[in-house]
Homo-oligomer: A and B are copies of this chain.
Amino acid sequence: MILSRGAGYAVRAMIDIATVANGGVAITREVATRQDIPQVFLTKIVQRLAKGGLLEAHRGAYGGVRLARPAADINLRQIVETIEGPVLLNDCLIQPGKCPRESTCPIYDVWLEAEEKLLETLENCSLAYLAERSKELCSKHSG
């Protein structure tokens, strides 16, 4: 499997925060309960998301986390890469010149293209869309 569990948790948490506490503050522990994510693990993920500039965290009473920017300005690629680091199909895509075979390697370009297609799809998916769609699906499912 390509994505780590942490990345999946991160996306679900971001959607939860965007959906439930629209513009407001969410409490990590409650997100964990709602989304059925191991609590302490989620705090780690939230920390990374905060460090990565996707969330703002405030400590102390009445603290919590909120989106650092509008949901429309956050996309799936950003969330995934904040948790996983750069998504690379193969080593050589980190930096040209790393692999000694590169100049005669017929695969390099194919990896590159495949990776670009993948990332493009994730990039075109905004958190705003996901949150909206989540609401739709939930109301359809319960109604």
Interchain CA distance A1-B85 in the complex, whole Å: 9
From A23-31, A62-70, A110-118, give the one contacting chain B.
A110-118
Interchain CA distance A121-B111 in the complex, whole Å: 9
15 contacts between A and B (CB under 8 A): A1-B89, A3-B90, A8-B90, A12-B107, A15-B106, A104-B134, A104-B137, A104-B138, A104-B141, A106-B134, A113-B121, A114-B118, A114-B121, A114-B122, A117-B118
Having A1-B90, A106-B137, A117-B121, one finds 13 other A-B pairs with CB under 8 Å, namely A2-B2, A2-B90, A3-B111, A8-B90, A15-B106, A104-B138, A106-B131, A106-B136, A107-B130, A110-B125, A114-B121, A117-B117, A118-B118
